[in-house]
Amino acid sequence: MYSRHKRGTAPDKGTSQNMTDKAKHKLLNYFIATVWIANGLFCKVLNLVPRHQQIVANILGDDYSRSITILIGLSEVGMAIWIISGIRTRLNAAIQIIVIATMNVLEFALAPDLLLWGKANSIFAFMFILLIYYNEFYLNKKSVQSA
């Protein structure tokens, strides 16, 4: 059998592991972006889940709740595009974490009765935050350049 490494030496395990991490990172990027698109486009912009607009109305008032819900949804679609673009990924992950934490604290405090799983929604939000952190800061190893 043909082998690319020198005879008598083991293949480089680090390279194959990094490829696995890269593949996981890419797959998780698409999954995370899909979550943003589903919540932004389908739930908010297209209003397929009216509960989202009700949450906005409960927190900010009825007058502009539809317009604000659409803007939030478009922002979430923008987040998905940013994720897929691969631009400034660390900043993107940090902003995602801050946005998710902020939205969920507000919803937990001001509209828990409208959440899909009530106050337990915060558990799912925390798990999503951990997934984003793991994907960006563990799987997406950036090479450190020395001076």
- Ordered by start, the domain boundaries in the chain are 21-139
Q: What is the pLDDT of residue 144?
A: 46
pLDDT above 80 for 98: yes
Whole-model pTM: value is 0.83
Note the pLDDT of residue 61: 94
Is residue 127 predicted with pLDDT exceeding 50? yes
User: What single string gives the DSSP state of each residue in 40-86?
Assistant: IIIIIIS-SSTHHHHHHHHHH-STTHHHHHHHHHHHHHHHHHHHHHT
